[in-house]
A and B are shown apart, each in its own frame.
Chain A
Amino acid sequence: MTQIIIGGKTQTIQSSPGRRLSEVLRNELGLKSVKVGCDAGDCGACTVLMDGAQVCACLVPVAQADGAAIETLETAEPTLSARLQAAFLDHGAAQCGICTPGIMMAAMELLRANPKPSRPEVETALGGVLCRCTGYAKIVDAVAGLAPRAARANGHAVGVPLRRLDGQPKVDGTEKFGADVGPEDALMVRAIRSPHFHAAFTFGNLDQWASISHVKVLTSDDIPGVNRFGVIPPLADQPALAEGVARYLGEAVALVIGPAEVIEALDLATFPITWTTLDHAVTEADGVAGPQLHDTRPGNLLIKGRVAAGTPDAELAKAAHVAEASFQTSYVEHAYIEPEAGVAWMEGDTLVIHACTQAPVMDRDDTATILGLPKERVRIVPTAAGGGFGAKLDLSVQPLIGLAALVTGHPCRMVFSRNESMRASTKRHPGTMTARIGSDATGKVTAMVFDGDFNTGAYASWGPTVATRVPVHASGPYRVPHYRAEARAIHSNGPTAGAFRGFGVPQAAIMQELLYDDLATQCGVDRLAFRRQNAFVDGDKTASGQVLSAVGMLECLDALKPHWERALEDAALHPEGSTVRGVGIASCWYGCGNTALPNPSTIRIGITPDGRLRLHQGATDIGQGANTVIAQIAADALGLSITAVELIGPDTGLTPDCGKTSASRQTFITGRAAEAAGHALRAEILRLTNLSEAAVLKLENGVLTATENGQTQTIELGAANAYGYALMAEETYDPPTTALDEDGQGTPYAQYGFGAQIAEVEVDLALGTTRVLKMTAAHDVGRAINPLLAEGQIEGGIAQGLGLALMEEFLPGRTENLHDYLIPTVGDMPEITSILIEKPDPEGPMGAKGLGEHVLIPTAPAILNAIRHATGARLTKAPALPHRVLAAIDEARKARPDQRSVEDGATITGPRDSRHGP
């Protein structure tokens, strides 16, 4: 019998000897801080200490832990653990929190041997744990023991780098993610998924198989409602379980339900199903001529978006300078460390679903439709989400566990494997783009034409959003008087492409910013100056005809200028050798909120008869910080200390609809609702006094007082209303937008955020490898509600942008794991300097603008432009894997024979400016 030592106590293990230690710790011993992200040693989320050494618990058969001391975050030595927890909170080192326990265990191994580690030592110690949210910078600071960053609220909460309000469970390992909730004896649900890109299927004798296997099997025939869902209701096309034909590799066709031990032991290869493969296409180019996937969409064209203004063709014909290029991007996987998971059960006649999500109300509505239930009979309680980045906007486990619970009457749990998550979830759209931009002789941009095909995969998902957002944004944050941009979402049998931080705008920005470097060079103008010359200012009109205000573009570029000059100088001084250095710059703008559609948020805030202040906060916090930021806004609007705020929700049973966590909308839209609700409650309180707006409110020990001119009044808290509050306010904000006409003219967004980033890179001329040395990011956030969280967004966005630029390429059927699909590790991250620009937005709460997606947009183009600056290599496809960079360097050399080859060890010579390229 295996015995392991936990916290000094010997535990006798009942599990079989070959069972993963991670499973034993989680399920037999209840140590749920041990997270399972991949079951392959690729992510490090399950890192524990075994006799003091960090190991991936998923790779240790429990028999090998016999006699060993195992430490998890719950059971580790408390002094060091407490110190690290405080450091993580003070640095904002935990965002979603799913990687945090593993990171902290790795850090403990280091800190015991080396209490004052250097940065490289920290990187080596943490190299085996992936984080998808933070960009690692704050984690390294926290582990290296740098001075704390967080501060306490002092009168006001807004503008203060507060610790996140929901941080403690994230750093002590008690946070509940999708796989951590619900009864231990819940039935397990597993999906049978298509092994083919496109195939018809028929079932064999399901009843017989189910009976032999002691399981329940459900198919689309068992779905009581409408077996179609989609985030854009008129285009809903996706079945919860496929009906006769699977349109992508990994599409679910049936469910198998049973006790965990039965399901685990089952060989799903014996499931009675016959596949007949059909022709398939997996790229946007092949999709156009490929098998038609949906009856009403000839040519597999889901939707086309268009914005047009002026006479771009005529203007390009007479432009002094014209730059033209094509660019291709790849499928990109969200790679959150938490695979989709949840549990469902019946409470009376209400179906309750606890699952990780970014969009609880959409989940409720779609699940109710699929299951044929009225909305009121479905309650969605989001668990903590271990990262989302857009893919957890779409339904995953919800209708499947909902159906299973409805049919069986038992609690039912589903936890995707990493492979399943990567097959089933949505991706960033691959784009094939072409653009031409023209300027006059002085470098003033006059016209642009953009054309893009975006591979939207098998189902609509957020393809329409990409097709409408891209043409609006493809100009970049620049004046382009004559403009035409078209983007098409094309179906294929590739994975469904949906929402991923930026909805196609990061891809389009690569195209546009590449051409801006071309034009600057043609005009002989410094690349930053060229951008500044064309950047939007207040009063400018966008290509959609919207007149802008509160534009912080010049402020961002001006803040970057000294860094730009220093970086160019550093690059030029880099000694000749096998590596060269380059500097690139790119800008971003991004409309906050849904495109030309209503998207209201509602916030309720109240004070109970016993004097407790509760904020019903329905904006799901997937790590970005809504729980903290919305509370900061509400507290200041109300005029009470943030320490008094108790957070409720999100929970469709308890919180009003705050919409989805996407489109960089929560700080702006839910923040505005929170501001309005705070103001309304304050007005309600003051109405009960005869004091003015200047009165100071206090809520201490359940007593609410208002003070003005030395006079203090206690506000009598009366009986509770239907919601349980003596005083309550509920306010809604919906940003004022208009629909777009057929030329894309209108007011698609009520607010835009702006920014620009500089990348400094070193490229190895013989190997084609790129190392990003430094990123300097300036973002106009309107008002930094919480500067620490804003920085965290920037650093995390840069990490994802770096991945998009240099390493991330999802190949359907080939890279459904985290060792073939690479995301940046701590060792890949550059030094990051963040500059927060505050140009208040009249629509934003206290001036604040959205930020979550903006931060990712300039990173990849800045890096690609820096590679080009360094080497002359003009990439035509992302990611810039070493072999692509080397091939592009060779191409550049052919075009410019004055650069000698580095073959056979010779070093590069030639005029320095030749690197700038033609």
Chain B
Amino acid sequence: MTQDDTYHRPKILGDALALLAEGTPRIAAGCTDLFPATERKVLPGAILDISGIRQLRGVSQHKGGVTIGATTTWADIISAPLPPAFDGLKQAAREVGARQIQARGTIAGNLCNASPAADGVPVLLTLDAEVELQSLRGARRLALSDFLRGPRATARAADELVTNIHIPSEATEGSGSFLKLGARSYLVISIAMTAARVVEKNGIVQSAALAIGACSPVATRLPEAEAALVDAPLEPARITPALLAPHLAPIDDARADAAYRAKVAAELMRRSLAALRQRQAA
């Protein structure tokens, strides 16, 4: 450890924001991305550990929707009582790593790490999630799609802390689903993943929110595909590759080639919708 390394673990949000105003410590929460990024036995550099700030953890439902604290873990989300719109989020939570990672990894950490393959992002996009950022300068909210700027890049200013994720009440309607495609069970980084949230009335789709991950630099909503579902009974077959194509920019990597990703994206989305349809029927 070098001389200037420091480790702060404040209990109060204001103290954390003050530390961020003074310097540029790395913000640590679940550490499930920070530790794998170093071979060192100690987290290197100046660290601001926000896991001791109680108010940042937990899920609350209120008139305005649902608020998920920044350091809420995937395990917390799995066990939280939430409406069917959050079923996809719970499925995603169960697909993050395995139980050890779910017990420690946090929702805001997943967003701030900004991996193109972040398991939480597609489903939060379908929930119209907003990211709340606070600093000594004040607070602001950004739509998740505005918060994520690119691979490993977010709109968070150096003195800001992500404090909450908000799901507006309109987005808590309907039911959600999530599907992750990987080359093995458990502990796997996605080849591709899809999320869907559909609101139906009398068997007719009123609105649909669809998103895809790991097929573009940032996970993205699919407006053309969403439009294709509305005002009709839920019909997965309406999802065609052409509807998705404008939003996909897949790459070749060790897990799959780009052509494959482009090809399976529509199929995965159809299956996410088919799962919803099946659940509705049941």
Contacts and interface: CB of A to CB of B under 8 A. Distances in A.
A484 interface: no
A155 interface: no
Nearest to A264: B41
A123 B42 CA distance: 32
A573 interface: no
Contacts of B2: 265
B98 A128 contact: yes
A827 B185 contact: yes
Contacts, number: 170
A20 B35 contact: yes
Contact of B40 (A264, A811, A817): A264
Contacts of B224: none
A5 interface: no
Interface in B88-112: 97-101, 103-104
A876 to B, nearest CB: 15
A806 interface: yes
A16 B185 CA distance: 36
Contacts of A827: 184-186
B75 interface: yes
B181 to A, nearest CB: 6
Interface centre among B31, B97, B184, B263 (most CB of A within 10 A): B184
Nearest to B44: A18
B42 A54 contact: no
Nearest to A18: B43
B186 A127 contact: yes
A447 B9 CA distance: 73
A18 B185 contact: no
B51 interface: yes
B31 to A, nearest CB: 5
Contacts of B100: 41, 44, 47, 54-56, 59, 106, 128
Nearest to B235: A905
Nearest to A63: B9
B155 to A, nearest CB: 27
B1 interface: yes
B269 to A, nearest CB: 11
A767 B35 contact: no
Interface string A402-439: 00000000000000010100000000000000000000
B11 to A, nearest CB: 11
A670 B264 CA distance: 53
Interface stretch (A469-477, A867-875, A882-890): A882-890
Interface in B187-230: 187-189, 191
Nearest to B35: A59
B183 interface: yes
A128 B99 contact: yes
B31 A60 contact: yes
Given A19-B41, A54-B100, A61 B28 contact: yes
Contact of B181 (A54, A767, A811, A887): A767
B257 interface: yes
Nearest to A105: B100
B187 A42 contact: yes
A809 B254 contact: yes
B260 A883 contact: yes
A705 interface: no
A393 to B, nearest CB: 26
A828 interface: yes
Interface residues of A, number: 64
Nearest to A15: B42
Nearest to A879: B183
B75 A53 contact: yes
B103 A826 contact: no
Nearest to B39: A417
A385 B103 CA distance: 30
Interface in A59-76: 59-61, 63-64, 66
A814 B254 contact: yes
Contacts of A904: 237, 240-241, 266
A807 B256 CA distance: 11
B237 A905 contact: yes
B198 to A, nearest CB: 17
Given A20-B41, A41-B35, A54-B103, A820 B254 contact: yes
A766 B187 contact: no
A249 B152 CA distance: 27
Nearest to B36: A40
Nearest to B37: A40
Contact of A825 (B9, B32, B184): B184
Contacts of A109: 99
B205 to A, nearest CB: 17
Nearest to A27: B41
A373 interface: no
Contacts of B39: 39, 417, 419
A819 interface: yes
B186 A826 contact: yes
A41 B35 CA distance: 8
B166 interface: no
Given A39-B35, A822-B188, A881-B256, A18 B181 contact: no
Interface string B250-281: 00001111011001101110100000000000
Given A20-B35, A767-B267, A883-B260, A63 B7 contact: yes
Contacts of B103: 50, 53-55
A819 B188 CA distance: 7
Interface string B1-43: 1100101010000000000000000001011100110011111
Contacts of B43: 18, 61
B181 A124 contact: no
B142 interface: no
B238 to A, nearest CB: 9
A56 B32 CA distance: 9
A825 B183 CA distance: 11
B267 A766 contact: yes
Contacts of A42: 36, 187
Contacts of B268: 767
A58 interface: yes
Contacts of B1: 16, 265
Nearest to B260: A883
B53 interface: no
A671 interface: no
A882 B183 contact: yes
Given A55-B103, A56-B101, A825 B264 contact: no
A41 B184 contact: no
Contacts of B31: 59-61, 64
B56 interface: no
Interface in B40-55: 40-43, 47, 49, 51
B32 A59 contact: yes
Given A42-B36, A767-B264, A54 B99 contact: yes
Contacts of A768: 260, 264
B236 interface: yes
Contacts of A363: none
Contact of A822 (B99, B181, B184): B184
B108 to A, nearest CB: 16
A649 interface: no
A828 B183 CA distance: 10
14 contacts: A20-B42, A39-B41, A41-B100, A59-B104, A127-B98, A128-B187, A767-B268, A809-B254, A819-B188, A825-B184, A826-B186, A827-B186, A883-B257, A905-B236
Pairs of residues from A and B, 7 with the lowest C-beta to C-beta distance, nearest first = A827-B185, A128-B98, A883-B260, A127-B186, A40-B36, A18-B43, A127-B98
Given A40-B35, A55-B104, A60-B31, 15 more contacts: A17-B49, A18-B43, A18-B47, A39-B35, A41-B32, A41-B100, A47-B100, A56-B100, A59-B31, A768-B264, A769-B183, A822-B183, A825-B184, A882-B191, A905-B237
Interface of A: 16-20, 23, 39-42, 44, 47, 50, 53-56, 58-61, 63-64, 66, 106, 109, 123-125, 127-130, 264-265, 417, 419, 766-769, 806-807, 809, 811, 814-815, 817, 819-820, 822, 824-828, 881-883, 886-887, 903-905
